[in-house]
């Protein structure tokens, strides 16, 4: 049978399953099973337990639930609330004032939570009521939160970077380090945008109160727990003292200690954090297993080789290939969540990227930023629904507020494509240092 017809059939089955209430992980397993049964002579059930064991029984995969637990504890403790109080006095000197707290707080919280939804929800619940109370621009406040909240997927420790590293066989430690510079660039772009908007129209961020240097210095200790967690987790990985899994263990221990010191680690908080971690980890592991099983089915059929040969025969330039993939991921982002985008496209797209001469490490960061864009594009954009739950604004209106953030993310993607060494500089330094 023609491979094109096979590909259309598999995609049709996938769309059919995903269009129902069947969970994504089970849908992937069902389509993979159908591919084995219909298009190959391989025993579909015999290979299933091997894939389950080989791809989930690893020390690297253990980092995932640990980082999820770390984010859950932070989400439910007073550490995140103290972060806002510690940053506010320092933002008053910039045009845009407290709106910058959205950006900085999201960046810092992302560096210890690894989740876009947790970052957006936690920071949004704290900052938005305060910004609205002080008559800050509603569109600018919500738009910057929607965009900056996506940093939970890029700034390490990121759950999606762990998934990508496992599936693409790329060092997770190097991926974590590679996400730092693009993450900082995104934060800078958002802050510059806020400054420009507020210089043009100061009414967007009215002046409400002045802070003395004494107040600023007294606020610094409130930020210290998050800064120390970032230093311990990322510093140990960069220095080569710990693997991502070991660093995750240190992060969980540090989070428990700081939450205890802040007197917000109650028995109920710890119980809810554990339950949230188990639910999230179980969901992700099922999707990852389903993706590996579907990947095995597709590989047996020969679809990745067909796609690679077809794209290679077109003679596309590397920039044109990235443009096509960018458009493809924007469309997919309107239909699928980030994890599904990775597991569904990576087996086919990664060989094309390698064939075109791009570093898989670089592509991992590119892919995560495209997933960040998916977080703020309707109708599936998850950050839009998180903010809707906080503000009760219409989702379409929130998407409109987030449009400038989407465009700024595309600007960062363009810079990364033209200057790939911007992404690879820190990982190369890490290798030179023997980490």
Residues 244-301 pLDDT 10s = 778 878 888 888 888 888 787 888 888 988 888 888 778 767 777 777 777 777 777 7
What is the rounded CA–CA span in Å between residue 388 and residue 10? Answer: 35
Q: Give, in degrees to the nearest 5, the angle at Cα 148 between 142 and 153.
A: 135
Q: Answer whether residue 309 is part of any domain.
A: yes
Q: Answer whether residue 349 is part of any domain.
A: yes
CB 66 within 8 Å of CB 108: no
Asked if residue 417 has pLDDT above 80, the reply is yes
Q: Answer whether residue 271 is part of any domain.
A: yes
What is the rounded CA–CA span in Å between residue 432 and residue 356? Answer: 26
Asked if residue 434 has pLDDT above 80, the reply is no
Model pTM?
Answer: 0.76
pLDDT score at 411: 95
**Closest-CA residue to 111 (of 186, 164, 166, 216):** 186
Overall average pLDDT of the 112-139 stretch = 81
Residue 206 is given by DSSP the state -
Overall average pLDDT of the 331-350 stretch = 78
Tokens at residue 162, please?
A: 């762990």
Query: How many CB atoms within 10 Å of residue 163?
Result: 23
Q: Answer whether residue 392 is part of any domain.
A: yes
Residues 104-118 pLDDT 10s = 888 887 777 667 777
Most confident of the ranges 27-36, 124-133, 195-204, 425-434: 195-204
Q: Which residue has the higher pLDDT, 378 or 151?
A: 151
Q: Answer whether residue 24 is part of any domain.
A: no
Q: Answer whether residue 35 is part of any domain.
A: no
**Closest-CA residue to 208 (of 89, 102, 86, 123):** 89
Residues making up the chain, counted from first to last: 435
Domains contained in the chain, number: 1
**Closest-CA residue to 47 (of 62, 28, 31, 32):** 32
328 preceded by a cis bond (ω within 30 of 0): no
**Closest-CA residue to 45 (of 36, 54, 56, 57):** 36
Q: Which domain holds residue 115?
A: 59-432
Start-end of H helices in 40-137: 44-56, 59-76, 79-91, 99-113, 116-133
Tokens at residue 300, please?
A: 């047996």
CB 29 within 8 Å of CB 294: yes
pLDDT score at 59: 62
Of the CA atoms within 13 Å of residue 232, those in its CB half-sphere come to 18
Most confident of the ranges 13-17, 80-84, 171-175, 329-333: 171-175
Residues 292-329 pLDDT 10s = 777 777 777 776 667 666 666 777 788 888 998 898 88
What is the rounded CA–CA span in Å between residue 325 and residue 301? Answer: 23
- The residue with tokens 């693997």 is 243
CB 328 within 8 Å of CB 152: no
CA 27 remoteness from chain centre = 23
pLDDT score at 312: 64
CB 259 within 8 Å of CB 245: no
Q: Answer whether residue 95 is part of any domain.
A: yes
Confidence of residue 415 (pLDDT cuts 50, 70, 90): very high
Q: List all residues 6 or more positions away from 296 whose beta carbon is below 8 Å from its beta carbon.
A: 32, 47, 51
Q: Give, in degrees to the nearest 5, the angle at Cα 166 between 163 and 172.
A: 85
pLDDT-wise least confident of 7-11, 95-99, 364-368: 7-11
Asked if residue 414 has pLDDT above 90, the reply is yes
Tokens at residue 221, please?
A: 């200790």
Q: Answer whether residue 48 is part of any domain.
A: no
Overall average pLDDT of the 375-388 stretch = 80
What is the rounded CA–CA span in Å between residue 206 and residue 241? Answer: 47
**Closest-CA residue to 136 (of 218, 207, 223):** 207
CA 238 remoteness from chain centre = 20
Q: Give, in degrees to the nearest 5, the angle at Cα 410 between 121 and 148.
A: 20
**Closest-CA residue to 301 (of 33, 27, 12, 15):** 33
For residue 135, report the phi and psi dihedrals to the nearest 5 degrees: 65, 35
């Amino acid at each position: 049978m023609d491979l094109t017809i096979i590909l259309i059939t598999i995609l049709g089955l996938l769309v059919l399953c995903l269009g129902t209430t069947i969970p994504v992980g089970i849908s992937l397993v069902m389509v993979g099973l159908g591919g084995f049964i219909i298009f190959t002579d391989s025993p579909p059930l015999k290979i299933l337990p091997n894939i389950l064991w080989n791809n989930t029984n690893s020390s690297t995969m253990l980092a995932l639930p640990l980082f999820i637990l770390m984010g859950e504890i932070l989400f439910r403790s007073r550490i995140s609330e103290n972060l806002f109080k510690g940053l506010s006095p320092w933002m008053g000197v910039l045009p845009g004032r407290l709106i910058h707290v959205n950006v900085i707080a999201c960046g810092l919280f992302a560096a210890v939570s690894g989740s876009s939804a947790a970052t957006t929800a936690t920071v949004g619940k704290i900052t938005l009521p305060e910004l609205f109370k002080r008559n800050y621009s509603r569109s600018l406040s919500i738009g910057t939160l929607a965009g900056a909240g996506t940093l939970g997927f890029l700034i390490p420790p990121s759950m999606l970077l762990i998934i990508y590293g496992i599936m693409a066989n790329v060092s997770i430690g190097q991926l974590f380090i590679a996400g730092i510079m693009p993450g900082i660039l995104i934060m800078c772009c958002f802050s510059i945008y806020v400054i420009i908007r507020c210089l043009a129209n100061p009414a967007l961020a009215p002046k409400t109160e002045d802070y003395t240097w004494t107040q600023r210095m007294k606020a610094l200790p409130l930020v210290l727990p998050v800064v120390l967690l970032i230093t311990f987790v990322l510093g140990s990985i960069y220095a080569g003292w710990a693997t991502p899994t070991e660093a995750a263990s240190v992060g969980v221990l540090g989070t428990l200690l700081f939450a205890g010191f802040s007197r917000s680690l109650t028995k109920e908080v710890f119980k809810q954090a554990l339950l949230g971690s188990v639910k999230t980890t179980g969901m992700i592991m099922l999707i990852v297993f389903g993706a590996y099983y579907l990947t095995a089915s597709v590989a047996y059929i020969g679809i990745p080789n067909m796609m690679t040969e077809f794209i290679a025969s077109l003679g596309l330039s590397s920039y044109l290939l990235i443009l096509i993939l960018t458009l493809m991921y924007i469309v997919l982002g309107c239909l699928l969540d980030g994890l599904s985008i990775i597991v569904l496209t990576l087996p086919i797209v990664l060989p094309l990227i390698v064939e075109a001469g791009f570093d898989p490490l670089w592509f991992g960061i590119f892919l995560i930023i495209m997933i960040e864009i998916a977080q703020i594009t309707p109708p599936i954009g998850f950050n839009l629904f998180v903010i809707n739950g906080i503000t009760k604004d219409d989702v379409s209106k929130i998407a409109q507020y987030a449009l400038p953030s989407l465009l700024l993310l595309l600007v960062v993607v363009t810079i990364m494509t033209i200057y790939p060494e911007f992404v690879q500089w820190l990982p190369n330094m890490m290798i030179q240092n023997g980490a």
